[in-house]
Homo-oligomer: A and B are copies of this chain.
Amino acid sequence: MPIYTCTTAESTLDAATKAALAAEITRIHSDINHVPSTYVNVVFNEVAADNIYTDAVPARPLLITGWVRDGHPEAETTRLAMEVAEAATQITGIGKERVLVVFESSPAHYAVEGGRVLPAPGEEAAWLAAATE
């Protein structure tokens, strides 16, 4: 259901670090948003060093954007952002001042997976049960 995109300059993160960050984002998301880990997608978007700017100069931030379904308690989305940001700093060693985590959301019925419209938050159990029938 969710999609996380981690954008960095190329060579910022090695393969093991990317795998570890993907695993921890998946664990945190599954725990807080009650989604099986099998539905959590994490993409690393690595751009050339001169293709990423902060304050108008080439820079090396870690920009993490996530999409979630509308309807989760807002405080939970804040907690998700905090935990993902903390994990990102711990795993990558990138200082927290260079880590930005942003969530966007839209209605579950604006999304389709497995050929079916996604369930609203709280309705995952019936949706998941139907997936295995």
Contacts and interface: CB of A to CB of B under 8 A. Distances in A.
Contact of A41 (B61, B85, B89): B61
**Interface of A (DSSP majority class):** mixed
Given A55-B37, A63-B41, A102 B97 contact: no
The contact size tier of chain A is 35 or more
B113 A67 contact: no
A41 B26 contact: no
Interface of A: 1, 3, 7, 15, 18-19, 22-23, 26-27, 37-48, 50-56, 58-59, 61, 63, 65, 67, 74, 77-78, 81-82, 84-86, 89, 96-97, 99-107, 109-115, 117
5 residue pairs, one from A and one from B, having the closest CB atoms:
A96-B115, A22-B53, A44-B51, A103-B110, A23-B56
